[in-house]
Amino acid sequence: MLRLFQTHRIRRQTELSGCLWDFYTLPEEGKLPVEKKALVPGCWQNDPDTRTYRGRACYERSFRASGNIRLEFKGVSHTAEVYLDGEKVVSHYNAYTPFSAVVRGTPSGEHRLKVCVDNSFGPGSALHVENDYQTYGGITRGVALEELGEAFVDSLHVTPGRTEEGWCARVEAVVRNLSERPFSGKIRFAITGDTGEEVWAEAPVELAGSARAGADSRILFDQAKEWSSESPALYTVTALLENDRGEAVDDLIDRFGFREVRTEGKDILLNGKKLRIRGFCRHEEHPQFGCSLPLSAMQQDMLLMRDMGANSVRTSHYPNNEIFLDLCDETGMLVWEENHARGLSEEDMRNPNFERQCEDCIREMIGAHYNHPSIYIWGILNECASHTEYGRGCYERQLSLIRSLDRSRPRSFASCQFKTDLCFGLAEVVSYNIYPLWYHDTPVEEYLADLYDWVQRETEGVGKPFLITEVGAGAVYGYRTPEEVKWSEEYQQKAIEKQLRAILGHEGVSGVYIWQFCDGRVCDSWFQVRPRTMNNKGIVDEYRRPKLAYGTVKEIFREE
Ligand code: ADA
């Protein structure tokens, strides 16, 4: 499965995932390779033979096609080199963003696709490092084969906005010509509602030789139903490419919602109404599926978060599978989506690959996820060096890049630099991860008031919205004791109650994300501070069994 709806009616798209591929490891010398069939999408950690394998492995399969083709990979963890009939067609770094290869003029017949995957750590990898979560191995998200004509719609972005005449959508597409001959035609845009109401617009497309060009239109849709958390109305946008004979040669279909997000003073506003965030940080993580959760498991997570009264999820610490974002769009779950980075020091950020890998991630995240109405904010660089001058330069460049790609959403970053952060002037929303009652015992009210007052008094974050992007405490599932010591379910329950009441009771706070939704595997080197080599701060354990804190969160979130 690639998405929760059809993205083409004209372009022929075939899913290459959802089945077994040939699989073999390329282990270091002295170790025997594993050779077998493996499920795509999937993580090789799910197979007993490769449960702890870190290194290189290849996946192969054949398909039939001819002419211009596009191979789309929704996610390979973490480095991919893709070969078609023995020729390298694309390489890509980062498990959590999509990439594609366009190959022109493939001869008619059977073709062999090989994807070499590497999940090892090393100096070349600035973002996938030994960390407080797993870096799995495998083709972990879907793969599609698309057969293209001479020109195709490469991207389609919709920006909704409210005008005096009513709701309006700016629709922008990029068209690419694969032939040396000029392409002349037009692109027709349609916006369709769920009861069939439809508005069309069109823009000319002229492409001399092999090139790309943009086309855009502004469409008034004054009867639009707004997308909101309570009533997530979705619309379909279609870009139909026609040649100068009026024949439809390609299309791209996506969904979006009419909604506007902005900040005003200390508030984040959705369609002019103040947002109050009750959220969870969630890793793509499951003991049976690794980071490659099937739809049913994603939906289960959604139901549990909803049951506890959450209205938002933070995709900590990387862009998520689009299927999950589709679910969020459909169910009205607000999303904080962030680029991939966690806890990198200035030294880590000085890795020569750091900036490029972060920027690629931002471009691919926004390029692919721009239309999701559920994403209300972009985040970057969780808990990195936002307290040093060098770090500030990186934050500035990355936040500016986001602004150049998307002017319609606020930006933020989750800081842990207690009273030393230098970057709040660069973003619209101030966000902090705090752990009173876990990593230290300062009463929550006192700690939060001190931090908040410092932000207002001494930083450029003064007067901006303020979010708590992490708070929580650890509990090993099933460990219950009257002593209520740390790691017991009782301790977690009490701590979370005090944390949430203090945070939500603070007048300056726009909301809170609990760290974290479920327990999850961490890298082996973290074993000393992580019982079971798991991050145990989940409100449910890794199998989604509720801990005592579940009922407490539910009570407090639902009271809101
Ligand atoms: C950090 C970090 C999380 C997690 C958490 C914890 O704030 O952002 O990824 O590591 O702390 O459990 O300590």
Domain that holds residue 477: 272-559
Task: Give the helix ranges, DSSP H, for 91-246.
Answer: none
Same domain for 457 and 383, yes or no, is yes
Same domain for 74 and 155, yes or no, is no
Ligand 1 midpoint to CA 537 (Å): 9
How does pLDDT run across 133-177, given as a tens digit for each residue?
A: 999 999 999 999 999 999 999 999 999 999 998 999 999 999 999
Looking at residue 225, its pLDDT comes to 96
Ligand 1 midpoint to CA 161 (Å): 36
Same domain for 315 and 205, yes or no, is no
- The residue whose CA is least distant from atom 3 of ligand 1 is 132
How does pLDDT run across 357-403, given as a tens digit for each residue?
A: 999 999 999 999 999 999 999 999 999 999 999 999 999 999 999 99
Indicate whether this model's pTM tops 0.95: yes
Q: Residue 94 pLDDT > 80, yes or no?
A: yes
Does the residue 264 lie in any domain? Answer: no
Looking at residue 214, its pLDDT comes to 83
Are 71 and 101 within 8 A, CB to CB?
yes
Of 183-187, 196-200, 450-454, 517-521, the least confident: 196-200
Ligand 1 probe mutation, 515, 522, 525, most atoms within 8 A of CB:
515
Same domain for 99 and 170, yes or no, is no
- Compute the average pLDDT of residues 489-509: 98
Ligand 1 probe mutation, 338, 383, 418, 476, most atoms within 8 A of CB:
383
Ligand 1 midpoint to CA 404 (Å): 29
For residue 438, give the ligand 1 atom closest to its CA: 13
How does pLDDT run across 116-131, given as a tens digit for each residue?
A: 999 999 999 999 999 9
Q: Residue 222 pLDDT > 90, yes or no?
A: no
How does pLDDT run across 132-145, given as a tens digit for each residue?
A: 999 999 999 999 99
Are 368 and 97 within 8 A, CB to CB?
yes
For residue 414, give the ligand 1 atom closest to its CA: 8
Comparing C-alpha atoms, which of 504, 358, 503, 346 is closest to residue 420? 346
Looking at residue 217, its pLDDT comes to 85
Are 153 and 186 within 8 A, CB to CB?
no
Instruction: Give the 3-state DSSP-derived string for 503-560, with helices as H, strands as E and coil as C.
Output: HHCCCCEEEEEECCCECEECCHHHHHHCHHHEECCCCECCCCCECCHHHHHHHHHHHC
CATH number at residue 106: 2.60.120.260
- Strands 375-380, 334-338: pairing is parallel
Q: Confidence band (pLDDT; 50, 70, 90) for 526? A: very high
Same domain for 422 and 524, yes or no, is yes
The domain total for the chain is 3
Looking at residue 178, its pLDDT comes to 95
For residue 474, give the ligand 1 atom closest to its CA: 12
Q: Residue 209 pLDDT > 90, yes or no?
A: no
Ligand 1 midpoint to CA 99 (Å): 28
Q: Residue 213 pLDDT > 80, yes or no?
A: no
For residue 383, give the ligand 1 atom closest to its CA: 8
Which secondary structure element, helix H or strand E, spans residue 116, and what is its range? Answer: strand 99-118
Same domain for 418 and 402, yes or no, is yes
Does the residue 398 lie in any domain? Answer: yes
Looking at residue 119, its pLDDT comes to 98
Ligand 1 midpoint to CA 476 (Å): 16
Does the residue 246 lie in any domain? Answer: yes
- The residue whose CA is least distant from atom 4 of ligand 1 is 132
Does the residue 462 lie in any domain? Answer: yes
CA gyration radius for the chain? 24
Looking at residue 239, its pLDDT comes to 96
For residue 516, give the ligand 1 atom closest to its CA: 12
Ligand 1 midpoint to CA 417 (Å): 13
Ligand 1 midpoint to CA 354 (Å): 20
Ligand 1 midpoint to CA 515 (Å): 7
Last residue of a domain, one of 147, 173, 192: 147
User: For ligand 1, which residues put their CB under 6 angstroms from it?
Assistant: 132, 342, 382-383, 416, 433, 470, 515, 535, 537
Distance CA 156, CA 138 (A): 29
CATH number at residue 451: 3.20.20.80
How does pLDDT run across 457-481, given as a tens digit for each residue?
A: 999 999 999 999 999 999 999 999 9
Ligand 1 probe mutation, 318, 418, 470, most atoms within 8 A of CB:
470
For residue 316, give the ligand 1 atom closest to its CA: 9
> Hey, how many other C-beta atoms are within 10 angstroms of the C-beta on 449?
14
Same domain for 329 and 359, yes or no, is yes
Q: Confidence band (pLDDT; 50, 70, 90) for 413? A: very high
Q: Residue 424 pLDDT > 90, yes or no?
A: yes
Q: Residue 28 pLDDT > 90, yes or no?
A: no
Looking at residue 90, its pLDDT comes to 98
Average pLDDT, the chain: 97
Does the residue 6 lie in any domain? Answer: no
Ligand 1 probe mutation, 440, 535, 537, most atoms within 8 A of CB:
535
Ligand 1 probe mutation, 433, 512, 536, 537, most atoms within 8 A of CB:
433
Ligand 1 midpoint to CA 372 (Å): 26
Same domain for 126 and 161, yes or no, is no
Looking at residue 216, its pLDDT comes to 83
Ligand 1 midpoint to CA 503 (Å): 18
Comparing C-alpha atoms, which of 310, 364, 356 is closest to residue 337? 364
CATH number at residue 238: 2.60.40.10
How does pLDDT run across 230-249, given as a tens digit for each residue?
A: 999 999 999 999 999 999 99
Same domain for 120 and 96, yes or no, is yes
Spell out a b/e string for 470-493, using b for 16 or more CB atoms within 10 Å of the CB, else e: bbbbbbbbebeeeeeeeebbbbbb
- Compute the average pLDDT of residues 71-87: 98
Ligand 1 midpoint to CA 278 (Å): 18
Of 194-198, 492-496, 551-555, the least confident: 194-198
Q: Which two tokens stand for residue 292?
A: 């490659």
Looking at residue 215, its pLDDT comes to 79
Last residue of a domain, one of 126, 147, 168: 147
Q: Residue 287 pLDDT > 80, yes or no?
A: yes
- The residue whose CA is least distant from atom 7 of ligand 1 is 433
Which secondary structure element, helix H or strand E, spans residue 174, and what is its range? Answer: strand 166-177
Looking at residue 496, its pLDDT comes to 98
- The residue whose CA is least distant from atom 5 of ligand 1 is 515
Does the residue 98 lie in any domain? Answer: yes
Ligand 1 midpoint to CA 344 (Å): 12
Same domain for 279 and 231, yes or no, is no
Distance CA 204, CA 220 (A): 19
Share of the chain above pLDDT 70, in %: 100
Ligand 1 midpoint to CA 281 (Å): 10
Same domain for 134 and 71, yes or no, is yes
Q: Residue 538 pLDDT > 90, yes or no?
A: yes
Mark residue 283 as left, alpha or beta (left: phi above 0; alpha: psi -120 to 50; beta: remaining): beta
For residue 433, give the ligand 1 atom closest to its CA: 7
Does the residue 266 lie in any domain? Answer: no
Sign of the dihedral through C-alpha 494, 500, 505, 508:
positive
Last residue of a domain, one of 131, 147, 163: 147
Ligand 1 midpoint to CA 423 (Å): 20
Same domain for 396 and 476, yes or no, is yes
For residue 439, give the ligand 1 atom closest to its CA: 13
Does the residue 262 lie in any domain? Answer: no
